[in-house]
Structure 1
Amino acid sequence: MSIIKESSHKYNLQNVEKANLYKDIFPYSEVPKVTFNHVQVPMDLPENIWITDTTFRDGQQSMPPYTAEQIIKIFDYLHQLDNNSGVIKQTEFFLYTEKDRKAAQVCMERGYQFPEVTSWIRANKEDFKLVREIGIKETGMLMSCSDYHIFKKLNKTRQQTMDMYLSVVEEALSHGIRPRCHLEDITRADFYGFVVPLVNKLMELSKEANVPIKVRVCDTLGLGVPYTGAALPRSVQGLIHGLRNACGVPSELIEWHGHNDFYSVVSNSTTAWLYGASSINTSLLGIGERTGNCPLEAMLIEYAQLKGTTKNMKMEVITELAEYFQRAMNYNVPERTPFVGSQFNVTRAGIHADGILKDEEIYNIFDTDKILGRPVVVAVNEYSGLAGVAAWINMYYRLKDNEKVDKHDPRVAIIKEWVDEQYADGVRTTIIGNNELELLVEELLPEITEKRQVIAS
């Protein structure tokens, strides 16, 4: 006997009189709760996945505003990093100031295919005029979808809110502009009572106009969780699966936008990819509201791990970008930040240095020199020992194969004794500077510094 399965279910807007704030999950006076319904949804990594950027929007609103020149420079860097691979597909701009509009215009005139210039507006017709005036082809629109926002911020009913959002989408479509709907605070929203009915209406408009309407899934407070069996509204798996199956949104029209309030921004973003979203929204260095957005550089590495390739991206530009932020904007990159911090591939422990001395693959995550232009570094301190000193010499001077200095070289022992003396009285607590070690190497191992000068010349 065959079983007839229901192919679709009609989800009607639940225009409730009282806000559903999920106080059992978000009691406010306590840490939020993670609830489980033990429903497992299938993993569904799309064939094509990519990254979008919000450095000039969410990133810019959380630090001193960038100058037009800085925006254009960073945009050029993003293009160089992507290198026409299409992995960094888009970036979004504010349009509220003359400076931002000028920068967006210059970036559009660059004529790059990637990243495409898009914009961000509030879901009202006055903001929409800015998009029409500058000629951008796609714009994001803020669509707050939790009752926290609908009842408390907008002071509207769910029906009034949905009608307002749909009218702005219709306005965009009437002018041939692709809408991108930012479902703000979705991890506290009534998914089947508001989000699904809204998105179903958006998909109807998309079909009628034959224009793709994107859905950005905004984890505004970083409340999403990646766990299998977690319940809505916090389940990243459930949100993406629900949009794909209850609303029929194609993977290529789903974009995840996360924040890092609970240290989960990268795992949540990767989970969104794994369960059906093609696009992950990021910002350079993770700069964004409060604890920040998902770091673009982190998701490039996640992309490489999931897809087994970096395509033709120039990954070393990640290092150049981090240096530019520090140099041009006095932005302090925390030194232990993965991939971009000054200490991310620095080892101090003697036993680790001994392993690196034998083969740097033992204690380095990958060839950071080849991929990021950041050779592994051994810092010398009181715990380095002979192996640490020898490893520093070999790494610092980039000695290869038979050029490498062995830790049993008596000259290494002399340097190590000097290092020990620096810490003997307990006064010094800092690492030995490269300039200090350079002087010792120049004196004790002149053939190394002489060869370096020949190569440099």
Structure 2
Amino acid sequence: MKVRVFDTTLRDGEQTPGVSLTPSGKLEIAKALDDLGVDVIEAGSAITSKGEREGIKLIAKEGLRAEICSFVRALPIDIDAALECEVDSVHLVVPSSPIHIKYKLKKSEDEVLDQAIKAVEYAKDHGLIVELSAEDATRANIDFLIKLFKEGEKAKADRVCVCDTVGVLTPQKSEELFKKITENIKLPVSVHCHNDFGMAVANTCSAIIAGAKQCHVTVNGIGERAGNAALEEVVAALKFLYGYETNIKLEKLYEVSRLVARLMKLPVPPNKAIVGDNAFAHEAGIHVDGLIKSTQTYEPISPEVVGNRRRIILGKHSGRKALMYKLKLMGIEVNEDQLNKIYNKIKELGDLGKYVSDADLFAIIRDVLGKDLKEEIKLDELTVVSGNKITPIASVKLHYKGEDRILIETAYGVGPVDAAINAVRKAISGVADIKLEEYKVEAIGGGTDALIEVTVKLRKGTEIVEVKKSDADIIRASVNAVMEGINLLLQ
């Protein structure tokens, strides 16, 4: 069976506290989701604001393969706003639990039912696909839930959805509930789970097993409170653990994960399943020894299948075999004495509680072998202009030694650091496709003259490096970190 994927990153995901996308940002994510293979893109809630409608209109007019949907309440004004955006469908959400009906709506069940069906009929009369969704359905009276969906069937709704709005389902209860719903309802049933108890993915999979045909998910599991069921985890679990297919191109999962993280300014936790940087990372000596013999020993699937990569982390838990394996991957040859010196320095850093980044490892290797980092691209000049009522702008002049040519570019940014990094990335775009994955700043000491430590994580293909640089000038520290990371990736 093929399971449909309803992505609500741009609606429920954007409701993550502190997140607000521009219309162009929403469009960029929508195009990536469409390319990823999702079946439905919930582009937002049209009634929210003028900017929200602009974003939804942009997506609806882009000619994407996916069905474009707007969230609506059971109100004609909401449906009219969705129609104005020219969407294909509406996700028509109706409160269904006694808690919501009594305290939020202050209505009777009959009044809620009547309003819901009138809204379904209104949307259908205007040519929309309708997914009738019961909010807080997992705390609703099951008889009312079935009655709501049966009346929705009569009103020609196209799909129905059971929402675990506050994440109180368990996998066992999920299976029982969806079996009962699918036995009584002929329409395709969707599952929408929240992660308040960390069981959104498990509950979603249980619902699919019990007969649900479509799952609501968000990239990286973002959303209100503890978030929603994570798209990447659900589709991977369905395929590799349960044998269900989707239209998702698994090899694009990591790429889309990082795009959403960057545009929504929500970093992906390193230990995040499937797309986290540590999802396929190994440090312990016994694990790396097993990997060298067969990657299946400590990896359930190949990282490349989901667009991620295998990482060998060096630290106090690492053995010599791990170091030898890492050096081999880097194409670096050392003798026994040099290997021991590098190994001992790594152990010393590990005992100090320090994570040995790629930049740290290169520094250790350079120190032991007496070699300097080959600087493929050198920063010759950097000029940044910023001030009150001036859009920050930066220009850079780089010397690309590989082809002995000068690279000059100018770029704008939301701030002087952003402008400077944008100029560098723009200048090297013709040399290598390098993306900024993460950027962190920390003040060392107090006062206005405090040192600033900048950490950047850069990616080229499947290779990722992390570099830290300190300086009293945040712009200089940032650009120096980016330049060293670029040169590391070009090694």
Aligned to 2:22: 67
Match of 1:337 among 239, 257, 272: 272
Structure 1's 102 and 303: CA in aligned 2 closer, same or farther, altered over 3 A? Answer: same
Aligned counterpart for 1:203 among listed residues 135, 139, 153:
153
Give the deviation of 1:91 after TM superposition.
Answer: 3.0
Structure 1 residues not aligned, in runs of 5+:
1-46, 207-211, 228-234
SS of 2:360's equivalent in the other structure is helix
Q: Superposed, which structure 2 residues align to 1:27-46 within 5 Å?
A: none
Contact map agreement 1:348 1:383 (CA 8 A) in 2: yes
Write out per-residue CA displacement over residues 313-356 of structure 1, whole angstroms, 9 at most, x where no aligned residue.
54333222232244344312211111222222222212112222
Quick one: distance in 1 between partners of 2:134 and 2:370?
63
Q: What residue in structure 2 maps to residue 190 of structure 1?
A: 141
Q: Is the 8 A contact 2:91 2:130 kept in 1?
A: yes
| Residue 304 (structure 1) aligns with | 239
Tell me the amino acid that sits aligned with residue 214 of structure 1.
Answer: R
Percent of aligned positions with the same letter in both sequences?
A: 25
For residue 36 of structure 2, what is the aligned residue in structure 1? 81
1:376 aligned partner? 310
Whether 1:161 aligns to 2:103 is no
- Give SS of 1:112's match: coil
CA contact (8 A) 1:56 1:94 kept: no
Correspondence list, 1:57-456, <5 A:
57-63=11-17, 64-82=19-37, 87-95=38-46, 96-114=48-66, 116-192=67-143, 194-206=144-156, 212-227=157-172, 235-246=173-184, 248-250=185-187, 253-305=188-240, 308=243, 313-368=248-303, 370-395=304-329, 397=330, 409-422=336-349, 428-441=352-365
**Distance verdict in 2 for CA 1:309–1:163, change over 3 Å:** closer
> Retained in 1: the 8 A contact 2:60–2:85?
no
Q: Provide the residue aligned with 1:34 in structure 2.
A: none
Q: Secondary structure at the match of 1:420?
A: helix
SS of 2:12's partner is helix
AA at the equivalent of 1:382: K
* TM-score, length of structure 1 as denominator length: 0.76
Task: Give a deviation string over 1:229-270, Cα, whole Å, max 9, x none.
Answer: xxxxxx212222222222x323xx211000011111111100
Sort the Cα spacing of 1:446 and 1:256 in 2 relative to 1 into closer, same or farther, 3 A: farther
Match 2:5 to one of 33, 46, 51: 51
Q: Structure 2: where are the runs of 5+ without partners?
A: 377-400, 403-488
Question: How far off is 1:372 after superposition?
Answer: 3.0
Per-residue CA shift, 1:164-207, capped at 9, x if unaligned?
Answer: 11111111122222221110111111101x1112211111222x
Q: Which has the higher strand share?
A: 2
Cα deviation for residue 102 of structure 1 reads: 1.4
Alignment check: 8 A CA contact 1:318 1:340 kept: yes
1:121/1:139 contact within 8 Å kept: yes
Could you tell me which amino acid in structure 1 is paired with residue 207 of structure 2?
A
C-alpha distance in 1 between matches for 2:108 and 2:134: 16
The SS at the match of 2:71 is strand
Moved more, 73-82 or 129-138: 129-138
Question: What is the CA distance between 1:100 and its match in structure 2?
Answer: 1.6
Distance 1:439 1:360, change over 3 A: farther
SS in 2 for 1:280: strand
Partner SS state of residue 255, structure 1: strand
Distance 1:158 1:203 in 2: 18
Shift of 1:140: 1.1
Name the aligned partner's letter for residue 316 of structure 1.
E
Distance 1:320 1:409 in 2: 39
Taking the aligned partners of 2:232 and 2:354, their CA distance within structure 1 comes to 30
Q: Distance in 2 between matches of 1:159 and 1:374?
A: 50
Is contact 1:143–1:184 with CA below 8 Å preserved after alignment?
Answer: yes
Q: Give 3-state SS (helix, strand or coil) of 1:316's partner.
A: helix
- CA distance, structure 1, for counterparts of residue 24 and residue 229 of structure 2: 24
SS in 1 for 2:171: coil
TM-score by length of 2: 0.71
Paired AA for residue 158 in structure 2: I
Per-residue deviation at 1:219?
0.4
**Match of 2:131, SS?**
strand
Q: Provide Cα deviations, 1:95-154, integer angstroms capped at 9, x if missing partner.
A: 12122211111112221212x211111111121211222222210112111111111211
Specify the SS of the correspondent of 2:68: strand
Q: How many residue pairs get matched?
A: 377
CA contact (8 A) 2:191 2:212 kept: yes
Q: Distance in 1 between matches of 2:258 and 2:123?
A: 39
Distance in 1 (alpha carbons) for counterparts of 2:40 and 2:238: 13
- The 1:439/1:312 distance shift into structure 2, 3 A limit, reads farther
- For the 8 Å contact 1:286–1:292, the answer to whether it is kept is yes
